[in-house]
Structures are given as structure tokens and as C-alpha cells.
Chain A
């Protein structure tokens, strides 16, 4: 059986591949979305922080002898700490200003970080070995699925859903959401809003770094790996609806699939299809698929 000349079996394979790529989009856009929700800042440093996560994994392995599993734990925390330093020293001064300034500042930081890494480590990228436990793969009949890819999809889905649960269903999350709506009122209840904002930024950055660690074994650890990714992820967040947690998760996976199919039917356009969708969505539903109109 074929669909548009492509065997159905092959399409199953592409669907799965799309979901795997979507897992990265979901993790990254989730972080971006959490940050925007509370800080009202579009974190353009996100791509650079994703790259830093991959580099942190590389450093841990080569300098400290800590392997992949440790990196999964340590790298996000380490990168989150640099993010927190960034927020404390610079970003917090911009909360009263237009979105534009936050975007420009973080864009500037992205340029600086990427430039410095590129200067130090060149541009061809560094190799990072796959953890032995996840090497190999299994034949699903319609495709060969590497174990590592299966792990990526399961792990990131778990992280996304946990994040969603914490923010939407727990007391801590309710403070967060309340602070998004009315920070001064929440402050009046005795909750330390500035600290909450700082930790939220750190968390969002940590998610980006986590995606970076996940990416290290399959892509080259490269100073520019996040440079173009950021605008795609940004588009994912906008399509999902700025600040909507579930929106970014669902849209992340969904767009991964759409992109995957584009790679079969019109591969040249696979980098562009997301922007076409973004334009259409914004014209029909200006607040995004899951966003609430303000």
C-alpha cells in the first residue's frame, strides 16, 4: 500500500522519526515557554544554552571522567547556575521594559557565548560517544529504531509531562501561575517573587541544557548547534501560544511530525514549513493554538 507514492511502512518510520525530533522541540520550547510565562522575556540565549549543555557533557566526560548518566544530572544544573547568574546581574533590570529589550539582550548574550565557544573549540564540532547501555537498536519491521532514539522520546516525554504537572497541578505551580498574573499581590502573601523568578529562569535554562545533553551523542557537539535552532523553537512556542505549557509540548511533538513528513514529500522545504504554519496560525488565531487571547 502506498500514500502519494510512498509506502505506508516507510511513513510509519518517518512518523516515528518526526516524534523523536519533536521531542527536542518540545523540551526546548517548554523551557522557552516557562521563562516567557513568568519573566515576560523571550530568551534568545536558549539556543546557546542548549549548546552549553552539550559542551558541559563533553567537558564532564573529558575533564572529570563523568559519563553520560552523570552529565544528564550535572550538566543542566551547571548551565542553570550560569543562567541564574545572568538573570541576577542583567535580566532582572529589564522586567519593567518592553519585551523587545529582553529579546535584544538575550540575543546579544547568544552572540557572545557562541562566539567565545567557536573561538575556543573551532567549528567542526567535537565527538561525544553514545552511552554503551543505549547503543544498538531493534528492527521494528518497518524501520530500524536505534535504542538511543527510543530513549530520547521516552525521557523527554516524561520530563515534559512532569513539568506540566508541577506547574498546572501543584501548590508550587499555582504560586507560579499566580505570580504570572499579578506579582505584587503574590508578593503581598509573603512569597518571595524575585527568587521565584530567578529559579524559574534557571529551570528553563536547565531544560535547554538537558536537551543539549540528549543531543550530544547524536549530533556533533558544535558551538553553532543552537544558532539556527532558536528561531525554529521560537516559532514552535508562538504557534503553541506564548506562555502555554501544554501548548508548547503538543506543538513541539506535532511540528516534529509535520517536519518529518515534509522531509519525505518536499525535503528542500523542511526548514521552512514551520514558518509557513506559524504565519497561517497567527493570521487565523493570533494568540496561537493553545494561547488565551489577552
Chain B
């Protein structure tokens, strides 16, 4: 036991990192991946996020750098109370230094507040609400992958510019759906389009035929789906049945992930256009990552959420290394100060409000005949440059932004 300790100490000393390590609380950097492990977001985040975080720790070479990093995870069941309880317990009793991922905007907003109260760090990949870098922004939080504003802006602008100037919204009746609908509507109007109608459905609706019929009757060119997960896939699947696309209307998926396309099958999903910030088949680096990732995640290829978890964890560890401390506010500040560089999102920056800046991509789902190999699903139709992909800094109403 003592010999092992001495060896470990020597190893640390030889790397020249020893005095500073005292700054790492209890000697271990502990990362908690908190997400939905069992329900509607389990495939797009879930275990895959845990795998991504672990891969980042390995690729960072934490062990070789004398940094002890541990990854734990839990299931928040999409309940804000379960999520907050786990977060408190992690921070108070289990010495977790940073919480990662957290799908479901309601839960993420709760964790955002708790992290701030406890002085820790929070990196968001799954949650969509742009409030996290707007009125709820915090010096302890970074919003990595995407947000409602980026989706609305990317998809809305592109669709209107390519002639889809009349819209009908099918919106999930909760905060996220309303926010998405509001943001897209603003983009559509700004670009000279018109909104002909909207209908709000309860979360987790099985049957969309009634709403699709209303959308059909509106004669709008574009049916915007301001919902997520099973709601989106069911709407698209039934849309095919009711001949929506054949009748000349098209769907704009406002939040669609790779795993949703996989679940739908290309036959039903073809032609669907939406915004992503990462696709696994973009270049050699992303393909290499996807291959390693899929091997460890039941062959499910990485979504942009998984990519965000990987890149976020990597950048976090770099900041911890540079700072030789895992103090929440200091690390987040360091992360904002350092430019980001990772194999998945390339070079980028993090703004004062916590918004990670990188390009976004307008993608279109391939026809079955165009798909050459498993998970070959997207064509990239346009790249939205980093500086245009996200809400301008001064429009979010974040208190951290100096006027």
C-alpha cells in the first residue's frame, strides 16, 4: 500500500505537477454525467454521453499527466426534483466537481442554479433552451452544443430562403416547444415569411393524424415540428401516411437527432431538413471518433450531443490542467479564456455568456438509394459560419455581458 503510494508520488513528482495538485479538491477530478438513461432521450444522450466523457478522459491522457479523473453517471428520469437531488448529493457528499450533459431544459435550469449556489461547474450539451446563456446565464455554466436560437435561426432562415415562406406549426405544449416555436416564428417573419396557423399538442402524443389534417388544411408550404424525440418521429411517420410530402408540403424538423433518423428509417425521413452542429461523417477525425465510439455504444453512432460531451470534457480537463485547480468558477473562467480546439468541432471560442461558438450545418436526410453504408444518413446542404450560428452576444440579456 505504502509502496504503491510512494511510486504514485514519484510518478507525479517526475511529471512536475506535484505542488499544484494540492489545488485539486481531494486529489480527484470527478465528472458526473447526469442525463436520461431510460426514457425518451436515452438514445440521443444516455449511456452514449458516459462513453463520450470516458473517451475524452482517456484521449486527454489524464493518467499520464498525473491527473486522477473519475466519471460517474446517473439517471434523472426527466424529473427536475430527481435531477436536483442527485446534483446536490453529488456536489455535497460525493465530491463531484463538474456536471455534464443534462437533457431536458427544465432539469438543466434547476442544475444551473444549484451549480451556481455550490460554486461548481456545469457544462450543458443536451438541453436546448437558449435561456442558459440568456437571462439564466451563470459564471459556472457553459452551453456547448446547440440551443433553440441556433436551431430556429439555421433551419428557419434556410427554409424560408429556399421558398418555404408559409408555415404551420405543430408544437409540443411545454416550455421547450413554445420557445422553439417563438424563435422560429420570429426568424420566419424577419425573412418575409408568414405563419398560417399553429396547433399545440400534449407531450408524448401517439397520434398526430388530427394535427396533420389541420396542417394539411392550412395549405402552408412548410410544417414546422416544434417538438422532439418520439413526438417528432411519430409526426413524420404519420405525415408520410397521410401523403403530406406527396401533396407538396414539407416538414421542417426543428430538433432532430441522428438517432431519430435511425429510428424512423430513411424511407420515412428522406428529404427532412434541419440544423446540426456535428455530423460523424464530416472528416477523417470525426469518422475515427465515430468508429471508436460506436464500438463502445451498441453500434449507435454519435449524435451532436455525444460530440458535445466529448469536446466539452476535453476542454474542461485542459483548463483544469492549465489552472492546476478544479475550482468551479475559476475553471469555467479559464475555459472561456482559452481558445477551444478538438477533433470534433475544430477550433472555436467560448463567449462571456457561456455560449460555445462553432459552425452549424444545415443537413438533409438522404434518400434510401443514396445511403451507401450503415448510418450514412445526411447530406450537408449549407454551413452556417460560427459568427452567425448563435444569438448575438448583446441580445440574450445575460448579466455577465458588459454593456
Would A and B touch once assembled, by the CB under 8 A criterion?
A: yes
A contact residues vs B (CB 8 Å cutoff): 7, 10, 13-14, 17-18, 20-21, 115, 118-119, 122-127, 129-130, 137, 143-144, 146, 148-149, 218-220, 222, 224-225, 228-229, 260, 263-264, 267-268, 270-271
Q: Knowing A127-B263, A270-B201 are in contact, say whether A220-B210 is a contact too (CB < 8 A).
A: no
Q: Are B234 and A219 in contact (CB under 8 A)?
A: yes
Out of B206, B209, B241, B267, which one reaches A229, CB within 8 Å?
A: B206
Kindly provide the distance from the CB of B165 to the nearest chain A CB, expressed in whole angstroms. 23
Q: Are B230 and A124 in contact (CB under 8 A)?
A: yes
Q: How far is the CA of A260 from the CA of B214 in the complex (A)?
A: 12
Chain B 183-215 against A: per-residue CB contact (8 Å), 1 yes, 0 no? 000000000000000011110111101110110
Complex contacts, A123 vs chain B, CB 8 Å: 38-43, 230
Q: How far is the CA of A221 from the CA of B233 in the complex (A)?
A: 11
Kindly provide the distance from the CB of A244 to the nearest chain B CB, expressed in whole angstroms. 25
Q: Knowing A13-B213, A122-B42, A130-B241 are in contact, say whether A222-B230 is a contact too (CB < 8 A).
A: yes
Q: How far is the CA of A122 from the CA of B205 in the complex (A)?
A: 18
Between A and B, 10 residue pairs with Cβ closer than 8 Å are A17-B209, A125-B263, A127-B237, A127-B268, A144-B216, A144-B243, A220-B263, A263-B210, A267-B173, A268-B201
Q: How far is the CA of A264 from the CA of B260 in the complex (A)?
A: 28
Out of A14, A118, A148, A225, which one reaches B206, CB within 8 Å?
A: A225
Complex contacts, A119 vs chain B, CB 8 Å: 38
B259 at the interface (CB under 8 A from A): yes
Complex contacts, B267 vs chain A, CB 8 Å: 127, 129
Complex contacts, B44 vs chain A, CB 8 Å: 124
Kindly provide the distance from the CB of B296 to the nearest chain A CB, expressed in whole angstroms. 15
Q: How far is the CA of A123 from the CA of B48 in the complex (A)?
A: 13
Complex A-B, nearest 10 residue pairs according to Cβ-Cβ distance, in ascending order: A124-B263, A263-B210, A127-B265, A271-B202, A124-B43, A123-B42, A146-B241, A122-B43, A17-B209, A268-B173
Complex contacts, B205 vs chain A, CB 8 Å: 270-271
B217 at the interface (CB under 8 A from A): yes
Kindly provide the distance from the CB of B35 to the nearest chain A CB, expressed in whole angstroms. 12
Q: Knowing A127-B263, A218-B241 are in contact, say whether A263-B42 is a contact too (CB < 8 A).
A: no
B88 at the interface (CB under 8 A from A): no
B264 at the interface (CB under 8 A from A): yes
Out of A21, A115, A137, A264, which one reaches B207, CB within 8 Å?
A: A21
Q: How far is the CA of A218 from the CA of B260 in the complex (A)?
A: 16
Chain B 208-237 against A: per-residue CB contact (8 Å), 1 yes, 0 no? 011101101100000000000110011001
B163 at the interface (CB under 8 A from A): no
Q: Are B213 and A14 in contact (CB under 8 A)?
A: yes
Complex contacts, A225 vs chain B, CB 8 Å: 206
Kindly provide the distance from the CB of B16 to the nearest chain A CB, expressed in whole angstroms. 46
The residue in chain A whose Cβ has the minimal distance to the Cβ of B214 is A264
Q: Are A263 and B211 in contact (CB under 8 A)?
A: yes
B contact residues vs A (CB 8 Å cutoff): 38-44, 46, 173, 199-202, 204-207, 209-211, 213-214, 216-217, 229-230, 233-234, 237-238, 241-243, 247, 259-260, 262-265, 267-268, 300
Kindly provide the distance from the CB of A37 to the nearest chain B CB, expressed in whole angstroms. 27
Q: How far is the CA of A119 from the CA of B241 in the complex (A)?
A: 29
Q: Are B43 and A146 in contact (CB under 8 A)?
A: no
Kindly provide the distance from the CB of B249 to the nearest chain A CB, expressed in whole angstroms. 12
Q: How far is the CA of A219 from the CA of B264 in the complex (A)?
A: 10
Out of A124, A130, A218, A260, which one reaches B229, CB within 8 Å?
A: A124
Complex contacts, B268 vs chain A, CB 8 Å: 127
Complex contacts, B260 vs chain A, CB 8 Å: 124
Q: Knowing A144-B216, A146-B241, A146-B242 are in contact, say whether A264-B42 is a contact too (CB < 8 A).
A: no
Complex contacts, B217 vs chain A, CB 8 Å: 7, 10, 13
Q: How far is the CA of A91 from the CA of B42 in the complex (A)?
A: 33
The residue in chain B whose Cβ has the minimal distance to the Cβ of A124 is B263
Q: How far is the CA of A291 from the CA of B268 in the complex (A)?
A: 44
Q: Are B42 and A137 in contact (CB under 8 A)?
A: no
Out of B201, B209, B214, B234, which one reaches A10, CB within 8 Å?
A: B214
Complex contacts, A268 vs chain B, CB 8 Å: 173, 200-202
Q: How far is the CA of A137 from the CA of B42 in the complex (A)?
A: 35
Complex contacts, A143 vs chain B, CB 8 Å: 213, 216
Q: Are A146 and B243 in contact (CB under 8 A)?
A: yes
Q: How far is the CA of A7 from the CA of B197 in the complex (A)?
A: 15
Complex contacts, B264 vs chain A, CB 8 Å: 127, 220
Out of B202, B233, B241, which one reaches A220, CB within 8 Å?
A: B233
Which of A10, A118, A263, A270 has the largest number of chain B CB atoms within 10 A? A263
Q: How far is the CA of A129 from the CA of B259 in the complex (A)?
A: 18
Complex contacts, A17 vs chain B, CB 8 Å: 209-210, 213
Q: How far is the CA of A118 from the CA of B41 in the complex (A)?
A: 12
Q: How far is the CA of A146 from the CA of B244 in the complex (A)?
A: 11
Q: Knowing A21-B207, A127-B263 are in contact, say whether A220-B213 is a contact too (CB < 8 A).
A: no
Q: Are A228 and B204 in contact (CB under 8 A)?
A: yes
Q: Are B237 and A219 in contact (CB under 8 A)?
A: yes
The residue in chain B whose Cβ has the minimal distance to the Cβ of A7 is B217
Q: Knowing A220-B234, A267-B201 are in contact, say whether A126-B263 is a contact too (CB < 8 A).
A: yes
Kindly provide the distance from the CB of B248 to the nearest chain A CB, expressed in whole angstroms. 12
Q: Are A264 and B210 in contact (CB under 8 A)?
A: yes
The residue in chain B whose Cβ has the minimal distance to the Cβ of A224 is B39
Given A13-B217, A118-B39, 17 other A-B residues pairs in contact with their CB atoms under 8 A: A14-B210, A17-B213, A20-B209, A118-B38, A122-B46, A123-B230, A137-B243, A143-B213, A144-B216, A218-B238, A219-B206, A219-B207, A219-B238, A220-B230, A224-B40, A263-B211, A268-B201
The residue in chain A whose Cβ has the minimal distance to the Cβ of B241 is A146
The residue in chain A whose Cβ has the minimal distance to the Cβ of B202 is A271
Kindly provide the distance from the CB of B39 to the nearest chain A CB, expressed in whole angstroms. 6
Kindly provide the distance from the CB of A269 to the nearest chain B CB, expressed in whole angstroms. 8
Q: How far is the CA of A219 from the CA of B300 in the complex (A)?
A: 22
Q: How far is the CA of A164 from the CA of B267 in the complex (A)?
A: 39
Q: How far is the CA of A229 from the CA of B211 in the complex (A)?
A: 19
The residue in chain A whose Cβ has the minimal distance to the Cβ of B229 is A124
Complex contacts, A270 vs chain B, CB 8 Å: 201-202, 205, 210
